[in-house]
Amino acid sequence: MQFTELQTLIIGLWFVIIGYFFLLFIYFLAFRYREKRNPFHLGFGLFFLLLGVGRILYLIWDFYAHIEIWWRLATVVSWLAIFTVFLALAYQILERKLWQIVLISSPPLIIALLILGLPWMFWPPSLTGGLLTLGYITSNYAILPLYVIVLPALFFYIGSQLTGQLRTSNFLLGTGFLAYYGGRVLQAISPAIGVIIAPVMVMIAIGIIAMGVLLESSE
């Protein structure tokens, strides 16, 4: 299989990003969770692990095997990643109020299960001759943008309630996630432009998130 220089560069950038995802997973699981036993750190670690796995599956779909099973698995794992991070945040903020935690965090899990069981409702345009399915519209243009806005907003809200390094840490995390999903949205809206800008934005976002994580751990 022959790749252009641009495709090779893009694949290389994404693999660097995947490496950072796995490093963040190891950090949260092996250090933060083992030390504090806080489910918030466990949820965050699983979030970065799922992001890394999902990106590997998307790379297979985009560059190696344009077969629907790879898109389906990648999309399911990506929605599960959103589920885990919102479950962790809801647990942290709502102080174990179960019904509120379930209400806030369950939609990404429901979408993941639907894509796993009813993928034809969510097929991307490349598998439907350019047509948009009802599930694709609902998940990508309604629910996903809502969570993309809410996730950074939650970190900004938490930061506004704190002082010192924890305040700065949460503001950095909010900014990092805003940049991360901004790159992903750009890639979805304009693939021709986003194909190279998205991984660059994501790399910058990972750097900001890593700084926020380090500040949080040093407090």
Burial of 204 (C-beta count, 10 Å sphere; 0-12/13-18/19+): middle
Confidence at residue 151, expressed as pLDDT on a 0 to 100 scale: 85
pLDDT on residue 79: 93
What would the pLDDT profile of 71-116 be if each residue is shown by its tens digit?
Answer: 999 999 999 999 998 888 887 777 667 777 778 788 899 999 999 9
- Per-residue pLDDT reduced to its tens digit, 144-163: 888 788 888 888 988 888 88
Average pLDDT of the chain to the nearest whole number: 85
Q: Which pLDDT tens digit goes with each residue over 18-71?
A: 999 999 999 888 888 888 788 888 888 999 999 999 999 999 998 898 899 999
Predicted confidence (pLDDT) per residue in 107-144, tens digit = 899 999 999 999 999 998 888 888 889 998 888 888 88
Long-range contacts of 174-180 (CB under 8 A, 24+ apart): 175/208, 176/205, 176/206, 176/207, 176/208, 176/209, 176/211, 176/212, 177/151, 177/152, 177/205, 177/209, 178/152, 178/205, 179/204, 179/205, 179/208, 180/205, 180/206, 180/209
Mean of pLDDT values over 194-219: 81
Look up the pTM and report it: 0.88
| pLDDT band at residue 1 using 50, 70 and 90 as cut-offs | low
Which pLDDT value is given to residue 49? 95
Domains of the chain with bracketed CATH = 5-218 (1.20.1070)
